[in-house]
Amino acid sequence: MLSAIESFAQSLAFVIRRFVRLKSWAAVERIVVGGGFSDSRVGELAIGRAGIILSTDGHKIDLVPIRHHPDEAGLVGGAHLAPKWIFEAYDSIVAVDIGGSNIRAGIVELRQDKAPDLGKARVSSSELWRHAEEEPTRDEAIARLGEMLKAQLKQAKKDGLRVAPFIGVGCPGLIEPDGAIERGAQNLPGNWESSRFNLVESIRELIPEIGDHETQVAMHNDAVIQGLSEMPAMQDIENWAVLTIGTGLGNASYRNRAKPKDKAADKGKDSDKDKASEKDKAKARG
């Protein structure tokens, strides 16, 4: 077992060394490891060991497992694709996570009363379908996805949730702005890269309305969305990345728009404020 962990760790460290040579990864301070690999104890130990190996090599990068369950991270991250107006009128969204072996559809409860930054968002209900075991055609897979979405919307209504007319979708491959998949979807059932197929349009046809409003669909690469689920926990650094290890190897790097706060400077400011306050009190007593 130990030799297997060491082998995985060495391989993971090797992959990360290759990534950090890229310009887009050069400034990465922390890497979140997601996918099915991170959900096992062996995976967790291998991630920790890979971090030690990288540190020994002089790479100052934190390596951490994803906080959410990998299956749920791919749904929770979809909330970060939603437009701002949704957060003012609704308390949940529909999300889809498409993988090489499974398709999951669910309802993500935003819980903004607990964390406005979506740090407490969670999956309230979901359904998992292991399409790799049934080997369906592409059209059969899309039809099954439609059934799953309708079942989840029905469950959300029973749960008393106000579901936004929005569906966030994570899918393998290079996603074009119009929702077409250019490449990387070879593990999905059928040809999803066809110029005559558009997943976003297909989902809109399946679920044209949610409530009394026309459905909006936003789609991005599944690794990108899984990484977005970690965004609230990444505000103490400027540059970070995600690696998802499952049927394939997904990756994405991010740069936060707002620079992290200098905690030492904040403490200094607080100290100065306290000193000024004490001076004011002394003057008042005098």
| 59 and 77 housed in the same domain | no
Structure confidence by residue, pLDDT tens digits, 136-160: 999 999 999 999 999 999 999 999 9
This prediction's pTM: 0.83
Report the half-sphere exposure of 86 (CA within 13 A, side-chain side): 27
Q: Are residues 30 and 82 in the same domain?
A: no
> Stretch 9-21: mean pLDDT, rounded?
91
In tens, the pLDDT along 26-49 reads: 999 999 998 776 667 777 888 888
Q: How far is residue 197's CA from residue 6's CA, in Å, rounded to a whole number?
A: 43
Task: Indicate whether 23 and 100 sit together in one domain.
Answer: no
Domain count, the chain: 2
Q: Does residue 247 sit in the same domain as residue 217?
A: no
**Tokens 């998949």 identify what position?**
181
Residues 16 and 152 in one domain: no
State which of 193, 228, 263 marks the end of a domain.
228
User: What is the model's pLDDT at position 245?
Assistant: 85
Residues 251 and 193 occupy one common structural domain: no
13 & 148 share domain: no
Give me the mean pLDDT over the 163-185 stretch: 92
Sheet with 122-129, strands from edge to edge, namely 122-129, 103-109, 92-98, 163-171, 216-221
Say yes or no: 39 and 149 in one domain: no
pLDDT-above-90 percentage for the chain? 61
Mean pLDDT over each residue of the chain, to the nearest integer: 87
Phi, psi of 256 (to 5 degrees): -70, 140
Q: What is the pLDDT of residue 3?
A: 84
Helix axes 2-19, 41-56, angle to 10 degrees: 50
The boundaries of the domain holding residue 146 are 73-228
Q: Work out the average pLDDT over 54-61.
A: 87
Q: Are residues 189 and 129 in the same domain?
A: yes
User: For the domain that residue 196 is a member of, what is the CATH number?
Assistant: 3.30.420.40
Give the C-alpha separation, 94 to 216, whole Å.
Answer: 10
62 and 190 inside one domain: no
Residues 120 and 53 in one domain: no
Query: 239 has which bridge partners?
Result: 255
pLDDT at 286: 35
Residue 240 bridge partners (DSSP): 30, 254
In a domain, 284, yes or no: no
Kindly state the average pLDDT of the residues 214-235: 94
From residue 5, how far is each of 35, 37, 78, 147 by CA, in Å? 17, 12, 32, 40
User: Which residue shows structure tokens 């399409």?
Assistant: 131
3-state secondary structure of 83: coil
**pLDDT given at position 283:** 39
Q: Which residues pair with 220 in a beta bridge?
A: 170
User: What's the CA gap between 126 and 211, in Å, rounded?
Assistant: 19
Question: Are residues 153 and 50 part of one domain?
Answer: no
